[in-house]
A = this chain, B = another copy of it.
Amino acid sequence: MNIAMLGSGFIARFYADTLHAQRRRDQITAVYSRNETNAKRFASDYGLNAYSTKMAKVIKDESIDAVIIALPNHLHEEAVMACAKYGKAVLCTKPLGRNASEAKRMLDAVEQAGVFAGYLEDLCYTPKFLKSVDSVQAGSLGRILWTKSREAHPGPHSDWFWDKDLSGGGAIIDLGCHCVEIGRNFIGKSVRPVEVMCWADTQVHPIEAEDHAIGLVRYENGAIGQFEVSWTFRGGMDLRDEVMGTEGTIWLNSFLRTGFDMFTTGKGGKYVAEKAESDSGWLFPVGDEAHELGYPHMFTDMFDAMEQGRAPLETFYDGYVVNAILDAALLSAKTKNWEKVILEDWRGKSDPRHEKSYASHDEKYYLIKKELLPNGDEKLILKDKITGEVKQETKRN
């Protein structure tokens, strides 16, 4: 595929580094940037023939098969509309919109134009995550009860992130979009998110938006998708996910503890990894940063999906649902109430699945718990199915 890149900043370079590595077939051939110097530098760095400061020109070029939007949040809608207009496949950086309305307009535009549209939610494509979701779907964890996704670091790379109007918000929009979608994948995308409770504060930075937030998303089946996001974390970039199910547990650490420990007095220091805060002492690099963050597997799915005429794993519809959840989170942070997730367009299941089945000990009792004690005794905690009385039985072994 021939790809046009819209944007030339941090994320555009990460995408380009990914696509132009590992002898991949799909290559960037043109770049658009608002700033000509940046456009030119990007084209030169990646060996592109074409660069321009005119977005439409780059998009509508006949040689282009797909467009990647790597622009600040406030420019996503304009770019998506242009792709829809010119009938080009479009891949848009997360978050899709600054809010659900914006996201919905983009969703409608690509669906009406009938163009392929992929949502570049890279952290739902890390190899660890993909394999975890496989295990969850295979039933290894039983019924999912709770997920936690955490992204925390000392703050983003570019000025516009820190300006609420351009970005749509602070850490919630910037990082929460990852965490919410990670939770949805584990809990099941067909399960409706119902309401959100969120705490947010601006604890450290001289900005208007929140730099720290914790949220709980309640799903119709009773599962909770927790997110923890911060621009105030010290120590690097903390990317961790957890899942609890009735039959098991998953803990993922995607960045600071991946089996690569290095101590150095600092001789020979240089760039360690995204958001690393030090170049001496104990450091925790990752082997291949793009890979650990999911970029290669994400683009593979996107272009495979285009060729196979199927939807990618992460679609504009997912981006829209995420925005709707984040809208509720931002509102909740203000009202201090649980706020409903407003989804005018819900495509999942509508019947709440809330069935619980209790383990029976025998005809008369439920089994609450069986446990081996340090002194070798075995203890059963039982509940009378009719009276509700709880009792215990201990067997001395």
Among A22-30, A85-93, A172-180, A342-350, the stretch that binds chain B is A22-30
Give the contacts of A293-343 with B (CB-CB under 8 A).
296-297, 299-300, 303-304, 336-338
Asked if B249 contacts A244 (CB within 8 A), the reply is no
In the complex, per-residue mask of A230-267: 1 if CB is within 8 Å of any chain B CB, else 0: 10111110000000111111111110011111111111
With beta carbons under 8 angstroms apart, the residue of B141, B159, B208, B337 that contacts A264 is B141
Asked if A368 contacts B155 (CB within 8 A), the reply is yes
For residue A145, CB closer than 8 A to chain B, the reply is: yes
Give the contacts of A178-201 with B (CB-CB under 8 A).
197, 199, 201
Which of A146, A284, A286, A373: most chain B Cβ within 10 A? A146
Nearest opposing residue in chain B for A264, CB measure: B248
- Inside 8 A of A358's CB, which chain B residues have their CB? 205-206
The number of times this chain is found in the oligomer is: 4
Tell whether A376 pairs with B268 under 8 Å between CB atoms, given A154-B369, A300-B23.
no
Asked if A212 contacts B146 (CB within 8 A), the reply is yes
Interface size on A, residues (CB 8 A): 123
**10 intermolecular pairs with C-beta atoms under 8 Å apart:** A135-B285, A139-B267, A199-B218, A206-B358, A235-B249, A247-B265, A249-B262, A252-B259, A253-B260, A291-B291
Task: State the A residues within 8 Å of B (CB).
Answer: 10, 13, 21-26, 126-132, 135, 138-142, 145-146, 152, 154-160, 162-163, 197, 199, 201, 203-208, 212, 214, 216, 218, 222, 224, 226, 230, 232-236, 244-254, 257-271, 274-275, 277-278, 280-289, 291, 296-297, 299-300, 303-304, 336-338, 356, 358, 366, 368-369, 371-376, 379, 381, 383, 388, 390-392
